[in-house]
Structure 1
Amino acid sequence: MPRAQIKDEKKYQKLRDKGESKEKAARIANASAGQGEKKVGRRGGKSPSYDDWTKDDLLKRAREIGIEGRSSMNKSELVKALRDH
């Protein structure tokens, strides 16, 4: 069922399936629906993927946003938790 705040549901689902966070997937889906996929893709982001972060940096970010159980998580679990948040 389409959500009112998501302008391109198919794009949103593809991004979520790739592992993007709900917020990021919605932002990209809505931007590409309004401006066109090529324009949005060229603009891009400057922040590296969580996969490129060190475990210490991931732990720090998880602490900042209040992810429970972060101290016992390995790097891939931290990345998933951050993306799901």
Structure 2
Amino acid sequence: MPKRDPGPSVKDPELYEALRDEGDSKEKAARIANAAAASSRSSVGRKGGKAGDYDDWTVERLRERAAEIGIEGRSSMRKAELIEALRSH
């Protein structure tokens, strides 16, 4: 399989690719790869667990977060649909 080009904003392409291969989202892989490049890799920890406790968020905040990560159709989604879209992104 050809390598994905993460673009110029990713500071550690090797780590980015490894994280994507593990199934992390593009956003999460880029965030971790850039944090690792900014400091030593050993100081960057990964949290496990849930994608977020979105059930306590307002619909307005969920839509804002969906806009930040580029989820399409968010304006017509109900709260449960927004939560599912955010968790599966």
Q: TM-score, normalised by structure 2?
A: 0.52
In the other structure, the counterpart of 1:58 is none
1:34-49 equivalent positions in 2, closer than 5 A: 34-41=38-45, 44-45=46-47, 48-49=49-50
Report the structure, 1 or 2, having the larger helix content. 1
Runs of 4+ in 1 over 4 A off after TM superposition: none
1:13 equivalent to 2:14? Answer no
**Superimposed CA distance per residue, residues 12-32 of structure 1 (whole angstroms, 9 cap, x where no aligned partner):** 000000000111100000000
Number of matched residues? 58
In the other structure, the counterpart of 2:28 is 24
Unpaired segments ≥5 residues, structure 1: 51-60, 68-78
Unpaired segments ≥5 residues, structure 2: 52-78
Q: TM-score, normalised by structure 1?
A: 0.54
Structure 1 Cα separation of the partners of residues 44 and 35 of structure 2 = 7
Tell me: CA distance 1:62–1:7, structure 2 relative to 1, closer, same or farther (3 Å). Answer: farther
In the other structure, the counterpart of 2:82 is 64
